[in-house]
Amino acid sequence: MAEGKKGGRSYLNDFQRNVAGDYIYAGDMYECGASREEIKQQKLFLGILTFLLAAAVIAGGCINAPGLHNVFFLIIPLVCEIGATGSVTSAVLRFLSCEPPLREYIYRRSVEALPRRALFEAVFAGIGLLCETVYCIINKKFVLMAAVYLILKTASIALCFLIRKNAVKYSWTKTENHNLI
């Protein structure tokens, strides 16, 4: 018998053919302890927070803050933060697109990964905040755009922690999949 897939696509091993020849998911499922209405509210809140986070990061990259055009230690955290924002957005969109119970591979890449990804994002926003503050102090460039940038970084950090808090709000339990027809 052939070995199953390994690595990033190993979840494909959880799909099996049924009597009709169609592929069905035979892996584990995750069920949330909250009601459908609570999950719907959580999804709406996570979607709004993620939209605000993406808007804050994009706005922070578009403004003309001192040093963002030519200082590598300000540009690198911003680029990493943009990548982390894409990762958080990806996890939230994956969660928003599915109804509970969640398949194991979807649960692992959305609900389980979201707190880590949000923390990762907050770390880069914090580094960007710190670097911009140090740059402004050293070069004595306190202008309005620097203040706006610092406010946006602070908002990004706060939004990341709100996303993280909301992502771990409900408990999920592993259940057996009984769809083997």
Q: Which helix (H) or strand (E) holds 29?
A: strand 29-32
CB 172, CB 178: distance < 8 Å: no
For 8, 49, 73, 111, the CA distances from 105, given in Å and listed in that order, are 10, 24, 36, 10
What does pTM read for this prediction? 0.84
Q: What pLDDT does 181 receive?
A: 47
CB 84, CB 119: distance < 8 Å: no
Q: What pLDDT does 7 receive?
A: 60
Q: What pLDDT does 154 receive?
A: 97
Q: What pLDDT does 156 receive?
A: 97
Quote the CA–CA distance of 110 and 115 in Å, as a whole number.
9
For the chain, domain boundaries: 35-169
Q: What pLDDT does 55 receive?
A: 97
Cβ count within 10 A of residue 81: 26
Quote the CA–CA distance of 44 and 40 in Å, as a whole number.
6
Q: What pLDDT does 116 receive?
A: 95
3-state secondary structure of 34: coil
Residues of the chain with pLDDT under 70: 1-15, 177-181
The torsion of the CA quartet 98, 159, 121, 32, rounded to 10 degrees, works out to -30
Q: What pLDDT does 170 receive?
A: 82
DSSP string computed for 113-129: THHHHHHHHHHHHHHHH
Distance of CA 48 to the CA centre of its chain: 13
DSSP state of 14: G
